[in-house]
Amino acid sequence: MIVDDHSLIVEGIRSLLANSEGIEIVAECTNGKDAVEKAIQLVPDVIFMDISMPGTSGIEACAGIKKQRPEINVIALSQHEDEVYVHHFLQAGGSGYMLKSSAREEFLAAIHCVLEGGRFFSSRLSAILISGHFDKRDAEIDPADHPVHLTHREMEILRLVAEGLTNHQVSNRLHISLRTVETHRRNILQKLNLTNAVSLVKYAMRHGIIGLSG
């Protein structure tokens, strides 16, 4: 299902997904209120949801849909690249966040990713989130957290651990030694002032790190 108050956006996404094997567009909506009603009625697997609409916003619509149909995957459509919007949408139960400028391949990847239980972020947004994840704006979102710099490798390991991989699995996935993984993991815990894997998962969920793609 596609939800956007601009017909050109709806037509564009419909065109991008046309003739894609295994994908059927079951409904199109131009506002959040209708989106909630149609989602509950039709129960689509995936909804691409504009977050900025008059009346019921995409974030409110997402929350309403997830409350009644938690099995539906709702992916944000937005022109906003600010982490604040991403956090709010994830808190509403969103399964991913796409920029409206995303290519066809990313829309297809997003569909398959969320259907497999993951979270998807467009590649441009992933880069923005990773580079700016620990700046002062995060402190405004959650005053309990403090700006922390993690290296690219540490971010990779944090994401994989938060997704449930063991140290051995992380080692195999990244093609690095088990000792290197253990060292990085200790450093991550120390930098974030955390104590165990459970706290790492909570931290990654709170910051939208789990499922970053690209």
Give CATH for domain 2-121. 3.40.50.2300
- The C-alpha atoms of residue 91 and residue 166 are separated, in whole angstroms, by 26
Q: What whole-number distance in Å separates Cα of residue 177 and Cα of residue 173?
A: 10
Predicted pLDDT of residue 130: 53
Q: What is the pLDDT of residue 119?
A: 86
| Residue range(s) occupied by CATH 1.10.10.10 in the chain | 133-206
Q: Which CATH architecture has domain 133-206?
A: Orthogonal Bundle (1.10)
Distances, alpha carbon 157 to alpha carbons 48, 124, 183, 189, 212, in Å: 29, 20, 11, 11, 12
How is the beta sheet containing 73-78 ordered, strand by strand? 28-29, 2-3, 46-50, 73-78, 96-99, 120-121
Q: Cα(94)–Cα(8) distance, rounded to whole angstroms?
A: 23
Q: What is the pLDDT of residue 141?
A: 37
* pLDDT for residue 214: 35
User: Boundaries of CATH 3.40.50.2300 in the chain?
Assistant: 2-121
Give me the pLDDT at residue 212, please: 39
What is the spatial distance between Cα 181 and Cα 99, in angstroms, rounded to a whole number? 33
The whole-number pLDDT of residue 33 equals 94
Predicted local confidence at residue 41, as pLDDT: 96
Which pLDDT belongs to residue 97? 92
The pLDDT of residue 72 is 97
Q: Tens-digit pLDDT profile for the chain (214 aa)?
A: 999 999 999 999 999 898 888 999 999 999 999 999 999 999 999 999 998 887 888 989 999 999 999 999 999 998 877 676 787 788 889 999 998 888 888 899 999 999 998 888 887 776 555 555 434 344 333 434 455 678 889 988 988 887 777 889 889 989 999 999 999 999 998 888 888 777 777 777 777 676 433 3
Alpha helices in the chain (DSSP H): 7-17, 32-42, 58-68, 83-91, 104-115, 123-132, 136-141, 152-162, 167-174, 178-192, 197-206
Q: How far from 47 is each of 4, 10, 66, 144, CA to CA, in Å?
A: 11, 12, 11, 33
Report d(CA 185, CA 87) in Å as an integer: 25
